[in-house]
């Protein structure tokens, strides 16, 4: 991946695990305490989305990103993104439904609908644990060109 990708989502939605998967690293649980970079991937703590005071940290960090991923855990009934939130960022925003290995079809469909409402231009269904859907995402990231329309 040559572009800088930033991951945003609630605590425990699977951002760090997906970062590990995308970068070919060992999958191991590690609570994210602060914004960190793994190769070209910018991992953020869930609290930055959940806490209004910290949210501006995401906006500032997004300036170094070429693409943003909004992650939603399909099994999580809380949805922290607001309608049209993707428009706050000046780069394209792609939606990721995470944990599809333990979600029902209904939960996955609901997560897709909510990410569309948040303004995501394209949505991937993934499991960072089984690897389902991550190859499609990786291929997309490899080919991503911010000058081209996503869909």
Binding stretches for Mg ion (CB under 5 A): 15-16, 32
Establish if 95 lies at the interface with ligand GTP (CB under 6 A). no
When CB distances are held under 5 to 8 angstroms depending on the partner's kind, the choice from ligand GTP, Mg ion, none that residue 145 binds is none
Distance CA 88, CA 45 (A): 19
Contact 141, 3 (CB under 8 A): yes
Give me the 126-145 binding string for ligand GTP, x by CB under 6 A, dash otherwise. Answer: -xxx----------------
Contact 133, 104 (CB under 8 A): no
When CB distances are held under 5 to 8 angstroms depending on the partner's kind, the choice from ligand GTP, Mg ion, none that residue 9 binds is ligand GTP
The number of beta carbons lying within 10 Å of the beta carbon of residue 82 is: 11
- At 17, list the tokens: 């695990």
- At 139, list the tokens: 């291929």
Establish if 15 lies at the interface with ligand GTP (CB under 6 A). yes
CB of 57 to ligand GTP, least distance (A): 13
CB of 49 to Mg ion, least distance (A): 11
Find the binder of ligand GTP among 16, 41, 61, 65 (CB under 6 A).
Answer: 16
Distance CA 125, CA 137 (A): 9
Find the binder of ligand GTP among 22, 72, 99, 133 (CB under 6 A).
Answer: 99
Per DSSP (E only), the strands in the chain are: 5-9, 36-38, 41-43, 67-73, 93-98, 123-125
Distance CA 82, CA 79 (A): 8
Of 27-56, binders to ligand GTP (CB under 6 A) are 29, 31-32, 45-46
Residues that bind ligand GTP (CB under 6 A): 9, 11-17, 29, 31-32, 45-46, 98-99, 101-102, 127-129
């Amino acid at each position: 991946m040559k572009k800088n990708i930033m991951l945003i989502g609630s605590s425990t939605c699977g951002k760090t695990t997906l970062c590990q998967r995308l970068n070919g690293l060992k999958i191991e649980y590690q609570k994210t305490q602060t914004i960190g970079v793994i190769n070209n991937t910018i991992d953020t703590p869930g609290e930055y989305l959940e806490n209004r005071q910290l949210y501006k940290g995401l906006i500032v960090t997004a300036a170094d990103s070429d693409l943003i991923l909004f992650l939603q855990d399909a099994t999580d009934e809380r949805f922290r993104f607001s309608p049209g939130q993707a428009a706050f960022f000046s780069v394209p925003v792609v939606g990721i439904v995470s944990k599809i290995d333990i979600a029902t079809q209904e939960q996955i469909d609901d997560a897709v609908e909510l990410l569309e409402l948040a303004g995501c231009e394209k949505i991937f269904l993934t499991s960072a644990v089984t690897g389902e859907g991550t190859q499609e995402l990786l291929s997309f990231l490899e080919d991503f060109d911010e000058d081209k329309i996503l869909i």
